[in-house]
Amino acid sequence: MKRVLLPVLLVVAAAVMSGCVYEYTEQDGYRMAVINEGFPVPKNAYEVKAEDCTTVIAKSAKYKLKGIGDEEGTPPEDYLEEIQRWGWTELEDKRVGNVHYFEKKGKIMSLIIGPNIFDVFEMSDELEL
């Protein structure tokens, strides 16, 4: 009986685990970032240990999300559009590689996209762009 039950349990466990993969889709929507209530992150992004703060970074959050970016750090276009819908303006002239800067009411946020992971930073007032 145990020999029959073990393979069945393994198949069920594998099916359950594969259903828990966090993947980027526009349809899942967005929520507030843990470090700034006014900055959106994909709703199904999984928060992981953030980077340490520095004199130019006031707060930081790191998220895992399959399909969020490519090797060049290009974010999905609909995510950039959602950030703008939330009132943020991209400072395109300040962009450096995969580091995107956004401004809203004097606050600067930085978004760094990588393959299946992204960082959101609230920049300190000491930052000079």
| 3-state SS track over 7-40 | HHHHHHHHHHHHCCCCECCHHHCEEECCCCCCCE
pLDDT at 21: 52
pLDDT at 103: 97
3-state secondary structure of 1: coil
State the distance between the two ends of the chain, measured CA to CA, in whole angstroms.
68
| 3-state SS track over 28-76 | HCEEECCCCCCCEEECCCEEECCCCCCCCEEEEEEEECECCCCCCCCCC
pLDDT at 23: 65
Q: Where are the domains of the chain?
A: 2-123
pLDDT at 52: 79
- What are the residue ranges in the chain where pLDDT is below 70? 1-27, 126-129
Rg of the chain on CA atoms, in Å: 18
pLDDT at 125: 80
pLDDT at 129: 65
pLDDT at 10: 42
The answer to whether 66 and 24 have CB atoms below 8 angstroms apart is yes
Facing residues of 112 across strands? 99, 119
